[in-house]
Chain A
Amino acid sequence: MIGPLAATVAAPLALALAALVPPLRPLARWFAVLGSALTLGVGAFAFADLAARPGADLRLVESHPWSTTFGASLAFGVDGLGAAMLTLSGLITLVATIAAFRESRRPHAYHALVLTLLAATNAVFTATDLLVFYVAWEALLVPMLALIGLWGGEQRRYAAIKFVVYTLAGSVAMLLLLIVIANTTAANGGATFDLPRLASMAPVWASTTVLGAPIARFGFVAVLLACLVKLPAVPLHTWLPHAHVQAPTAVSVLLAGVLLKLGVYGLYRIAWPLFPAEALAWSPALGVLGLVSILWGAFTALGQTDLKRLVAYSSVSHMGFCLFGLASGTVAGALGGAVQAVTHGFSSAALFLLVGVVYDRAHHRRVDGFGGLAGPMPRFAWLLLFASLASAGLPGLGGFVGEFLVFAGGFTANGSFPAMTAAATVSVVLAAAYLLWTVKRVAYGPLGDPQHGTFADCDRRERLAIVPLCALLLVVGVWPKPLVDALRPVCEALLTNVHGAAR
């Protein structure tokens, strides 16, 4: 029978199909709750296991045969990073489902697509087989296309197609890499896509040449390209603002909270373990790219007039920290990048939900069209302030942990990293500026529109979605130990491997 991790893939798929059956359609949103709660539960279970027995090894391992000739199997397993991402995926999908609980336009199709997306992201986060990883990585474009393209705003079609073409173009090179890997493993003692085995074959990738170049050289670039588009890193980020602005609130939450993490996860899971020497060689350049993303995203966010675009560009800036931390080549940096991926999931989801709250009432998102909302909506104002401070990295809240670790790692790293880290600290000021300035313009001062005085405060459903995220930001900020303990062995093993390959 299938184990818990395979169930996080199979159950959402089965629920998605069930949601389309006409008599069961009214239950679709409950199916989405069920699927995401199951994911959350399995993720929490894996976390408990990690807390009991710390280590970088894979937990909840299971494998089902798929193809003997390809050496592919439906193999799943999570380490600290995988467990964190799985939990995040379950939590954010649950929150997004609560946010979209009153979706009135074909709700059964909407929730079926969310469940399909959940199955695909869970497969990416838990697969220990590269082919399963890739299949899920590509297949999740389909529900995403439909969710943005069908339930989105005015220019949803343009945004959805841009998103799909961008990400598809980013990952075609990865297909070539997979084929080369299949051919090489078949010639080296049996075809396999087992990720731990592929990672142990790192010297083979570095020494085997295809068409005159080592596999590692183009393989790293292929994975990097696919991940940097998803991340997204400047200059491959231009699909993100469109997708966010056009997507409905709950899909923006999924996009920022889960999908951007796929890019980070791919770097940690594929690019660094399989091609450690290349990763080290590329690190300075990727550090620059991360720095550019951090600063570019922050500066651009400063100039945005649309609330969603503002949060989208802040995502570019915050995801830049993940890349920068990993590229620094220090355990602290890599750990910070991983923690940042998790806390950014919480804070960006909360911010998008809050933008959704005002959009629900005012039907626009122009920053200058608001003001003084703290009067009619005190709870909203408090939550907005809290999420903004957490996102800006106030000590004691979630965003601080990751950024601090990244800075700590960056200052102790080699080469130009200390200087770049110094430049990156500017973003803390910028983040405080664009976020708090936004809070001021939206929540304080005179009312932006006299009619806004009648706005209802966050209702129970909205609070049910937002408050847990804020609570988690506080928990991680005050007591980051469980998360850090779960992620540290993974990062240590990753960097030992990378630095070992250089010697």
Chain B
Amino acid sequence: MTAFADTAAFPFRLLLPETILAGGLLATLLTSLGKGPAWRKLAALLAAAAAIGAFVASLDAGAGAVGTTIAGDSFVDRTVAMLRVDAIATIVRPAITALLALCVFARSIDRDDAGDGEAWHACTLGIGLGALLVTSAANTIPMWLGLELVSLGSYALAAWRGGDRRAAEAGMKYVLFGGAATGLMLFGTSHLYGLTGHLDFAGIGHVLGQGASPATAAALCLAAVGAAYKLTVVPFHVYAPDVYQGAPPTSVAVVATLPKLAAGAVLLRALPLVLPANVAPPGSAAAGLAIVAFVSLAVGAVMATVQRDARRILAFSGIGHGGTAVLAMAAMPGATSGGAASATMLQLLAYAAAAFGAFVCLGILERDTNSTDLEALRGAGRRRPWTTGALCLFLASLVGIPPLAGFLAKWAVIATAVTAGPWPFAAVGALLVTTAVFAFAYLRIVRAAVLTEPAHEIPCAPPPWPATLAVVVAALVVLGLGLWLDVLAVLTRELAS
């Protein structure tokens, strides 16, 4: 492979969001040369500016592809897309950058004991950059690179609390499982390359369309592990509860949302390309995805009810919601309508907004007691009525109470998956049944935080304004996405083009 076919025509506008984030990342790192709170504030400002700049740039990036020209291949010379800013990326890139900005704002609630705020912001921008790369990847190489960039930042964020045993465990688990997932993914990708001679999604799909073998099916499954790990679907979910519990609150808000959006986006792009309707026995891909969704929902719901820590409950909620996104994808292979794609997209967006809000609210509540154990949340509603109210709003969206975003997303997923075959239908059944089970699990948080009197009075200061702003924005998104029913039609129209 050669470098860019024509460096003079580097699509600057197309990749401006990535460029801004990379610049912001470097600038934030430079601030670590200085010491003192002023420098840390500067780092936060730079990070926020970079994220907001990337958000603005992503709104007006246009569409297009970045690729390489392959020479001396068995085919004729051809251009292969590396990154493709298509409809999916056009929707998800603004979402990721906006969420990134909110994460930077939300960071204001973390106690920065170690004084390494600038490094936190650099890591977070790195995760954002990786997420953007994954989001627009049209080739296994940038997808892998992006996922690794996300992982490296996430490892650090998970273990951020120096000297905290839980945080160390979280980081260790994340690294071990993440390393294994990366290895499996690379292994699968190399097999795919060996079997098909291609690394780009379209090329792989082109060869698979001419006939697939069990070996290619196995390779595909392995190659998908990296994304499945980020989406926290069973069986790649085991790290999530420990990481979500042990990492600092805003780290969790980052790690639980940005990678999921990116992984969902790349799966959304890759699935129709890699799995044309004629690959494998008809319906087998849908069945496989639906089974993953079914098991994720079942495991997430059952385990969520027995947790004693609010963040662990939300971790299992994330596993269920990852399964729900996969369920929407199960309706996709061979489907021509944009219904499945828009359902997946809405599910990802609704989950990201609600989960982000819930984790930040828990982070604010955690400031008072240093714990999100259900016992420690007692009386939070009395102490911080607005924060607790917002937390309840996000939980209601996660369970799918109308008229919130989670309801519309669940609606869309069921509408698209219910007719996609017997396995997706069974998974829809699981989705409906687990609604009540998840409701019970979330109600345990509500019960502790709202319905239980505090054991003793705890003094508390109002949360910093940037965090409040982040929560308010997330709440407005959750409400707006739920009330604006036509968003589904808009997404469908955009994704079909």
Task: Give the interface of A toward B (CB within 8 A).
Answer: 66-70, 72, 109, 134-135, 138-139, 141-142, 145-146, 149-150, 156-157, 160-161, 164-165, 168-169, 172-173, 175-176, 178-180, 182-183, 210-211
Contacts and interface: CB of A to CB of B under 8 A. Distances in A.
Contact of A182 (B415, B428, B433, B452): B415
A138 B439 CA distance: 13
Interface stretch (B46-54, B211-219, B237-245, B442-450): B442-450
Chain A binding surface, main DSSP class:
helix
B396 A142 contact: yes
B56 to A, nearest CB: 29
Contacts of B447: 149, 157, 161
Given A139-B402, A172-B435, 4 more contacts: A138-B401, A146-B450, A176-B418, A179-B411
B290 to A, nearest CB: 14
B414 A150 contact: no
Nearest to B393: A142
Contact of B432 (A141, A146, A172, A210): A172
A134 B402 contact: yes
B488 interface: yes
Given A142-B401, A150-B450, A173 B439 contact: no
Contact of B451 (A72, A138, A156, A168): A156
Nearest to B399: A168
A176 B489 contact: no
B392 to A, nearest CB: 8
Nearest to B493: A69
B436 A138 contact: no
Contact of B418 (A157, A161, A179): A179
A343 B463 CA distance: 50
B443 A139 contact: no
B370 interface: no
Interface in B405-446: 407, 410-411, 414-415, 418-419, 425, 428, 432-433, 435-436, 439-440, 443, 446
Interface residues of B, number: 33
Contacts of B428: 176
27 contacts: A66-B485, A67-B486, A68-B486, A68-B489, A69-B488, A69-B489, A70-B485, A70-B486, A109-B385, A138-B402, A139-B401, A139-B402, A142-B401, A149-B450, A156-B451, A157-B447, A161-B440, A161-B443, A165-B439, A165-B440, A165-B443, A168-B399, A172-B436, A175-B411, A176-B414, A211-B418, A211-B419
B183 interface: no
Given A138-B402, A150-B451, A161-B447, A176 B432 contact: yes
Interface in B469-497: 484-486, 488-489
B334 interface: no
Contacts of B443: 145, 161, 164-165
Contacts of B486: 67-70
A164 B443 CA distance: 9
A109 B353 CA distance: 27
B203 interface: no
B494 to A, nearest CB: 13
From A67, A109, A160, A178, name the one whose CB has the most chain B CB atoms within 10 angstroms. A67
